[in-house]
Structure 1
Amino acid sequence: MATSDVRDVLNLPEGGAGPRASKKQKTSGPKPNLKGLAREVHNLGGDNPIAIVPEVQQFKKRRLAVRKPAARWEMRSFRNSARPDQSLILQHWRRKETKEGGEDAPHDRAAPATGEMEDSAFAKFNVRVSVPQYSDHQYQQYLQRSDWSKGETDYLMEIVRDFDLRWPLIWDRYEWNPPATNGEANADGDESKAVVPAVRSRSMEDLKARYYEVAAKMMVAQKPVQFMSQAEFSLHELMAHFNPQQEKARKDFALNSLSRSRDEAREEESLLIEIKRILARSERLNEERRDLYNRLDYPRAETDISSFKSSTGLQTLLQNLMSADKSKKRKSIMGTDGVSPGGAAGPGGAAQEAGKRDSLAAGAVAGASIKPGHSHNNSRRRRSRSRSQSDAS
């Protein structure tokens, strides 16, 4: 290794010269401080970081619009037409009305007249049920019954109006106490001179039946049936034919269905499945029976059968029956070889078959008529004759 290399490694001057000049250090200016950015992220950019936050701030432009003066409000009085007491006057805030020139319209803070006062916005939600009205003469003529008095009927109509035809509430709140007939009770509760009839309990079906009866009869009294519209006539028929016994049976059936156990529900389901199977089987049997009746039915008197008298007509009828059998997927009435059992053979073949049957029958009769002993003698004669012929030879 040369001396110059050693001096260079040890950073020594060469030949007693002055100190070696130090290396030029890089001068870095101050880094910009970006707000809204973490220091670690800012150091990752090095000397020339990328500006993430915009340097120039741009504000939203001002909207060019004409500013209107603030609206003025005032306290106004109003009534609620849904309340039976119209003497109650309430107040609420409303926007003040202005004229075309911008001046305020005069308004009296005192309570105005009834016709000019504003009605409540919630009065339209007070929907009342229309209950039939009747006079004493109409009640005596149309609505009189032995088990319902006029006072109890009036009480029923009143409670129906109060509870808007909600029958569970009507039946729960129905408490009719008939008045004394021969006198009135005093302030101390002494009813010794009064005869109070017994209180009769009414079911929900009884209340419905009485109300529908009154409503249907009053509809007929106000407008005869022949002048009613279709909707009015349907409503009248529905109320006039109300059956309380059927309604009670329907509720009992629904109650029993909801209170049954799981085993009873399974048993009922299995019975329903069996009933469906029996009905399907009966329907299939009836269909087969009708088909059989159609096959066995003779031709009608008005049907022309002249086309079936010839051999061609009979063959056509046979083909039609074959196609009907194939369409119904039944066993064909034809034989295995495609011809009918006795129709395809000619007259000669039929006569030959008849002769064979007759000869077989005659042979069977002749064989049955021969006696056993006679046949044995004939065999002995044949054997003796054969022996004599052998001796002669």
Structure 2
Amino acid sequence: MSKDIRDIINIGHATGSHVSKNDILGTQTKKKMLLPSATRQTRRPEGMSRELYSLMYNGQTPPVTETEIGSKYKTEKARLGMQRVQPWVWAPFVNPAREDGVCFYRWRKVADEGEVYPFAKFNKKIEILKYSNSEYEMYLQSTSWSREETDRLFDMCERFDLRFIVIQGRWNYGEYENAVKRTTEDLKDRYYSVCNILIKVRGGNENDIVIYDAAHETRRKEQLNKLYSRNPDKIKEEKILLQELQKIETKKHESKTQDKKSSAIAVDKKRTDRKILKAVKRSTHQNKQYTLPVKASKTDPENFEFVPIKFPDGKKTSGVFKQSQMMKIPSNANPKKAKTVEKVLQSLKIKPNPIPTEKIRQNYNDLRNEIVYLNELKEACSSSTAELLKLKNQYNKLKPDSVLDIAPELMLKLTALSFKEDKVDVGTNTENTN
């Protein structure tokens, strides 16, 4: 009998009457069937994509829906065990998130009897502040809002979880068709103002106070409406204006660069002309004994050029920039200038770090540049005076019979640049001219 059954269901002959798991599932290895030469998979032609090749030559009909090649669902075997399945029942349940207490039915496990409906935990509600009659009479009365409107607003805020767009859309429906028209900004402003007053009166946490500017929100929406309501001609005109503005800025930048280059060329040309003039004068002197050698001074009075301290500019930097950072002397500045400025500020009893407002910062930086400028002027004057005295002495030695007179206006006194009483000496070390 068992032999006939095995023959019918195509199970291999086995000794005895025992039927194994492999016999039932058919997991024994099967002999591979050789496909005809026409259906055998050939090598993919060059230039053909893999997807197209698999559709044409795999010998199988492509699936209609998406499948995962090589997924566990193709290789997973049936697992037979001795465990019993868990029973399920069609049982009633009540959703705690609903206030009407209606009863529904669903399939659940017998073991889950008595548990709360699992999806009720997703019903989150916002806690809306409540006010009493005495609090409203003492703190919450308004000329533009009545008690009825305020009560209705807080009731709708609780029903719709502060969705003010939804609240505003239902504000004038039904029995309130003749009520005062309110915008979303008006509703928000009234709600947050009442909540802030209640928090302050009840001594709550000040961090819970919400600052809402209804006028700003109204202007912002008006600007957005204007922006979105532009026609194509306006958009095109705006693009043209932006392009013209960019061209103007580019021309300004190019002109500034050109001015800097031209000024640098002019300075170099002036220095070259002076060198040539000096060489010509030296070559024209026939008697070398009358040549007056002069030591070059540190500061050339004929080609004096003031180089101010370049303080940081916050407008040329990205991100947040404090005013105090624009008052610092750069690290690459001349340390002698910085020391001179420090001494003068101490003598003038000016704090080294004043309050960094925009006006004080500008005046403070200008003052320090003027100190540096005054110091360089004094050095140039003292240098020119020393050179004049040296020339006079050398001339008197070469020609003792004649006396070289220098105009009084050329002999600048070094004390002329020294401050007295309410002024201060910049403290430049001058050379001994005696």
TM-score, length-scaled by structure 1? 0.45
Q: Using CA pairs under 8 Å that are at least 6 residues apart, name the structure with larger relative contact order, 1 or 2.
A: 2
Which protein has the larger Cα radius of gyration, Structure 1 or Structure 2?
1
